[in-house]
C-alpha cells in the first residue's frame, strides 16, 4: 500500500470569510496565503499545513482553474479541529484568548498526561489547543 503523509489542508465553512480570517489571524497569528474575495481564503498553519475557510454555500459548483477542475463541496453545522501547543505556553494562550474575548469552555487533563483547552471561533466551530500527552502519537 502506498504511504500517506500528514494532513495538509483542513477546511471550515463559515458565514463570512473576512470575519473568520480576522479571527484566525488575530487569535493564532496565521498568515494569509491566498484569498478569493468572499468565497474562500487560505491561511498558513505552522510551516506545513493550510487552513481553508470557505463561505457556506459558495463551493457547491465545480470551479475550473488553469490546471483542472475542483469538484464541488460544502459543509454545515459546527465542526471540531485541534492545534498543538507546548504545555508551558498554556498561561500565555489563556491570556491571549481572554484578551480577544474568546471564552474557554473547558480544560481537560488526559490520562497520558497532556491537556486540552476548548473554545469556539466566531462561527461556533469547536477549537482545541492540545499539549503533548493526549495521544500516543503526540
Q: Say yes or no: 33 and 6 in one domain.
A: yes
Which of 85, 122, 124 minimizes the C-alpha distance to 107?
85
Q: Are residues 71 and 8 in the same domain?
A: yes
Task: Report pTM.
Answer: 0.93
The closest alpha carbon to 10, from 80, 97, 105, belongs to 80
pLDDT digits (tens, 9 = 90+) for 20-38: 999 999 999 999 999 988 8
Do 131 and 93 lie in a common domain? Answer: yes
Provide the domain limits for residue 138: 77-138
pLDDT tens-place string over residues 33-75? 999 888 999 999 998 999 999 999 999 999 999 999 999 999 9
Tell whether 123 and 83 lie within a shared domain.
yes
Residue 65's nearest CA partner among 31, 38, 36, 37 is: 36
CATH number of domain containing 117: 3.10.180.10
Amino acid at each position: 500500500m502506498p504511504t500517506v503523509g500528514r494532513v495538509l489542508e483542513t477546511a471550515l465553512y463559515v458565514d463570512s470569510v473576512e470575519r473568520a480570517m480576522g479571527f484566525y489571524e488575530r487569535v493564532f497569528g496565521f498568515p494569509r496565503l491566498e484569498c478569493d474575495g468572499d468565497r474562500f481564503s487560505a491561511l498558513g498553519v505552522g510551516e506545513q499545513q493550510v487552513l481553508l475557510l470557505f463561505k457556506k454555500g459558495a463551493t457547491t459548483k465545480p470551479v475550473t482553474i488553469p490546471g483542472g477542475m475542483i469538484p464541488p463541496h460544502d459543509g454545515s453545522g459546527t465542526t471540531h479541529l485541534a492545534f498543538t501547543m507546548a504545555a508551558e505556553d498554556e498561561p500565555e494562550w489563556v491570556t491571549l484568548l481572554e484578551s480577544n474575548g474568546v471564552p474557554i469552555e473547558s480544560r481537560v487533563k488526559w490520562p497520558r498526561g497532556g491537556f486540552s483547552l476548548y473554545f469556539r471561533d466566531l462561527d461556533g466551530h469547536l477549537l482545541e489547543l492540545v499539549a503533548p500527552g493526549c495521544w500516543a502519537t503526540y
